Structure 1
Amino acid sequence: MKRLLTLMTLAAAALLTGCATQVAKTDLSAFEAAKPRSILVVPAANKSVDVDAPNYLLTTLTVPLAEKGFYVFPVHTVKTVLEQEGMYEGDQIHQQAPEQLARMFGADAVLYVTINQWDAKYVVLSTSVTVDFDYRLVGKDGTELWRANKRMVYSPQQQNTGHPLANLIAAAVSAAIERAKPNYMPLARGANYDVFVLGPTAIPNGPYLTVK
């Protein structure tokens, strides 16, 4: 029930995004041939201006993969081990051979995520919060198994009180709050569920899937 509510919430969140585009169904033949059982999620490469974005995103990637039935190495432990090996930044880690990373942890596949956007834009009386990610799953032999891109945008709706001046004030306050501390996490979680579970890029179920 909890998982169903989560999926319903994220599906509803998807309705808040900008114009949707049709995405062709992903070719999963390489994924199905490799039959990965365990996935190593490495720190994200960051092209946004928010230096904290990779750490926030990292906390959202484990759950949808685990719910699809894969063993996912604890992301914070992975990050610590990589740092002990002198690999601190996502860009640096993404340059390492996937075979080497998979061998370090005994993983069947390595998930790379690049943050293209993680920002909020203030325009007149509205604030638009955007996340945009590239996902790439590579097998332990270096073969690309799957890739996807997801962009999600959220703009708080103006509240119509029936009084023009009150509406302007309410919109300004809402935009200021959203601009001061935009909440990216629901969008990040929604993007992850859409690419892994709900959308046309959804990956096959793993060997540890438990149907509730």
Structure 2
Amino acid sequence: MKKLIFILCALVMTGCATTNVSKKDFSAFETAAPRSILIVPTVNHSLDVDAPNYVLSTLPVPLAEKGYYVFPVNTTKVVLEQEGLYEGDLVQRQKPEVLAKLFGADAILYVTINRWDAQYAVIVTTVTVDFDYRMVSKEGVEIFKENKKLQYSPQNNASGSPLAQLISAAINAAVARAKPNYMPLTRMANNDVFVTGKNPIPDGPYKAISNK
């Protein structure tokens, strides 16, 4: 009996240990206390040339919801192009102090697209997005860093014979392969990192105003 109780206690303790979430250190973020965030063009390591614009369009909303002023991404892109900075790689090699001063921003958000693809395996297509997020203050100090990877495979809801289910799964996979929908996963990744995840960024100065 004592042995059984010991095992049960050990299991309970193990279960509790797995639920603990290590908190991210936001001391640098809080010291910087940014009010405005500049989102610069993304670095694209995927094969999809359209991915950077799609990802860029999804970033302002969660940051604004957290209470920060976000510089319009399209205007930012135009201004940077006028400075000769057309590619995300080139932009991200610039000194953050220079970029921040150009716009009067308190912080700069850099995003790298590691994966933005759909892998086809006859009856299953797995859509994957993988992003690196990095934010620095106007002084060039890193105040936030995170990686987020999400995957989705369309489910087969067909009923009936195994053959019908197989055909349905193959059709769903082919459709997902022909036109994969990355946007829901991208928005979910951004929200998880900045708003709803285990370690979202602290609320900004305009959060209380937006909730009134």
TM exceeding 0.5: yes
Counterpart check, 1:38 vs 2:14: no
Distance 1:23 1:120 in 2: 31
1:96 maps onto 2:91 in alignment: no
Shift of residue 159 of structure 1?
1.9
Please give the alpha-carbon distance, in whole angstroms, between the structure 2 residues aligned to 1:98 and 1:29: 20
For the residue of structure 1 that corresponds to 2:191, the secondary structure is: helix
The amino acid that maps onto 2:173 is: A
What stretches of structure 2 of length at least 5 have no aligned partner? 1-18
Q: 1:115 is matched by which residue type in structure 2?
A: I
Runs of 4+ residues deviating >4 angstroms: none
Q: Which residue of 1 aligns with 2:203?
A: 205
Number of residue pairs matched by the alignment: 192
Instruction: Name which of 105, 117, 120 aligns with 2:118.
Output: 120
- Map of 2:85 onto structure 1: 87
How far off its partner does 1:124 sit?
Answer: 2.1
Question: Partners in 2 of 1:144 and 1:95 — Cα distance?
Answer: 15
- Is contact 1:148-1:201 (8 Å) kept? no
> Match for 2:182 among 176, 184, 188?
184
Larger relative contact order (C-alpha < 8 A, sep ≥ 6)? Answer: 1
Once the two structures are superposed, residues 29-53 of structure 1 have per-residue CA deviations (whole angstroms, 9 ceiling, x without a partner) of 0001111000000010011111110
* Letter aligned with residue 185 of structure 1: M
Instruction: State the alpha-carbon separation in 1 of the partners of residues 34 and 97 from structure 2.
Output: 14
The verdict on how the C-alpha distance between 1:22 and 1:111 changes in structure 2, with shifts beyond 3 A counting, is farther
Q: Kindly state the Cα deviation for residue 162 of structure 1 after the two structures are TM-superposed.
A: 2.3
Query: How far apart in 2 are the matches of 1:22 and 1:91?
Result: 37
Map Cα deviations across residues 22-73 of structure 1 (whole Å, 9 max, x no partner): 8632210000111100000001001111111000000000000000000000
Change (3 A) 1:171 1:65: same
Identity of aligned residues (%): 65
Unaligned runs of 5+ in 1: 1-20
Cα RMSD (Å): 1.4
Q: Quick one: structure 1 residues 176 and 22, their matched pair in 2 at CA, closer, same or farther if it must change by over 3 Å? A: farther
Which moved further from structure 2: 82-91 or 158-167? 158-167
Structure-2 residue corresponding to 1:75: 73
Question: Offset of 1:164 from its aligned partner?
Answer: 1.1
Larger helix share, 1 or 2: 2
Counterpart in the other structure of 1:193: 191
Q: Which amino acid aligns with 2:185?
A: L
What corresponds to 1:166 in structure 2? 164
1:45-56 aligned at under 5 Å gives the runs: 45-56=43-54
1:134-149 superposed matches below 5 A: 134-149=132-147
Match of 2:16 in 1: none
The amino acid that maps onto 2:86 is Y
SS of residue matched to 1:178: helix
Q: Within the alignment, does 1:154 sit opposite 2:152 as a pair?
A: yes
Distance 2:185 2:28 in 1: 29
Partners of 2:118 and 2:23 in 1: how far apart?
30
